[in-house]
Structure 1
Amino acid sequence: MNLNFLKKYFFFLFLVYTIIGCSSNEYRWQSSQLAINNSYKLKTGDIIVKDKLLTDPLSWLGHSSVMISDNRIGDFPMPGKDYYTISVNAWLNEPSRKVIVLRYKHFDKAFEKQFLKNIQTYGYGKYRTSFFKKKDSDFYCSKFVWFLFYKTAQDLGYNLDLDSNQGILIFPYDFLNSSDLTQIIL
């Protein structure tokens, strides 16, 4: 076999894996409109995972972000775009999308205080993919979310890894099988 063929073969397998993705069936996808109507139930630290849109290659991996206050989202939206904050209602305003809202089971006042400090420290820059999950400067949507929780727990003296498959990259759907997160039904 030639090397070029092997590269193409493994790239194809990678694409199939990331497009199909695996997640638990115990979660119930909800409409983004329902999430908007019930946004008053959302809290700082909630993780919102948007479903995949097969018609849009940029969404084939899903999308995720985190509530940085009770009504704002912090997001790394796509390659080449800067980190930004937006109201949760504007971020959710995609009628064709479904969402799952997840909450960390141990998000108490001490965790929230450090979490907000880490948002101030790491919420900057442009979207950059990195194969180093613990690197504190290269972020994309789900790595930013993962890193905030990882770093906050480290700062508080314990380990936390919300990546359910322990891969080298963190994808939005990797949060769905984390035993440390529970779904919030809106």
Structure 2
Amino acid sequence: MKIIKILIFIILLSGCSNLGKNISEEKKIFWTEARDARKKIYKLRIGDIIVKNRVLTSITSWFGHAAVVISPWTIGEYPMIGEGFVQYPVFQWLDEDRKIAVLRYRYMTKEFSRRFLLNVKKYSDRDYKITLDKNNSNEFYCSQYVWFLYYHTAKEVKDPYFDYDFKKNDKLILPYDLLELPNFDMIDLR
């Protein structure tokens, strides 16, 4: 029993997670080697969601990771405990031996984008913490932050296309859950 508690504790403290849920067969996912994607960063837009694949050889990467494009050359994320919100140049962030998938909200408008960036700034001073309340705005983990930015911005601009009930009964929003978001298109960086 003690070993199980320790494993759960390590998973909760190690970073963003996904419990192995299956991704909908309806959406074709374009996985691209991160280093290869650097050749096509000109295709990225503000608000694009980037999901990194799972890496079983690293406990902090067992379950994937998620971040968001906040400028044409910058990624914003909550990467792990002790770091809070950080920004990285896209080129540097993609300098890793992993695969990525990119999603773009198909109903992004100038007003939505403007409000989205205001919310990036507003919610970038929180601590990293995995909570069992995806609507919690006091602490964030990677995928919850990305989802919350979209959820909150959509509410502010009264977006009729955003799925406010996405994972309604789930307490967590995990990196691979983002791949199932309705009204988000996969962007092919291959």
Q: TM-score range by the shorter chain?
A: 0.7 to 0.9
In the alignment, structure 2 segments of 5+ residues that lack a partner are: none
The structure with the larger Rg is: 1
Q: How does 1:115-130 map to 2 (within 5 A)?
A: 115-130=116-131
Aligned to 2:175: 172
Q: Which has the higher contact order (CA 8 A, sep 6+)?
A: 2
Q: Distance in 2 between matches of 1:39 and 1:89?
A: 8
CA RMSD, 1 decimal: 2.4
TM-score, normalising length from structure 2?
0.84
Aligned CA distance change for structure 1 residues 110 and 18 (closer, same or farther; 3 Å): closer
Q: How does 1:30-179 map to 2 (within 5 A)?
A: 30-94=32-96, 96-158=97-159, 160-161=162-163, 165-166=167-168, 167-179=170-182
Q: Distance in 1 between matches of 2:81 and 2:74?
A: 21
Does the aligned pair in 2 maintain the 1:52–1:60 contact within 8 Å? yes
Q: Distance in 1 between matches of 2:33 and 2:114?
A: 31
Q: Distance in 2 between matches of 1:121 and 1:74?
A: 13
TM-score, normalising length from structure 1?
0.85
Q: Distance in 1 between matches of 2:112 and 2:157?
A: 7
Question: CA offset at residue 88 of structure 1?
Answer: 0.8
- Superposed CA offset, 1:30-65 (max 9, x none): 110221110011010000000000001111110000
After superposing the two structures, state which structure 1 stretch, 112-121 or 46-55, moved more: 112-121
- Superposed CA offset, 1:5-49 (max 9, x none): 9x87xx6xx99x944331135212111022111001101000000
Q: Distance in 2 between matches of 1:156 and 1:18?
A: 30
Aligned CA distance change for structure 1 residues 162 and 48 (closer, same or farther; 3 Å): farther
Aligned to 2:22: 22
Q: Residue type of the partner of 2:101?
A: I
- Superposed CA offset, 1:151-176 (max 9, x none): 10111124734785441101000011
After superposing the two structures, state which structure 1 stretch, 141-150 or 123-132, moved more: 123-132
Does the aligned pair in 2 maintain the 1:163–1:170 contact within 8 Å? no
In the alignment, structure 1 segments of 5+ residues that lack a partner are: none
Identity across the alignment (%): 38
Asked if 1:181 is matched to 2:184, the reply is yes
Q: Distance in 2 between matches of 1:52 and 1:44?
A: 24
Q: Distance in 2 between matches of 1:128 and 1:102?
A: 24
Question: CA offset at residue 133 of structure 1?
Answer: 1.3
Q: Distance in 2 between matches of 1:164 and 1:22?
A: 15
Aligned CA distance change for structure 1 residues 163 and 64 (closer, same or farther; 3 Å): farther
Does the aligned pair in 1 maintain the 2:76–2:86 contact within 8 Å? yes
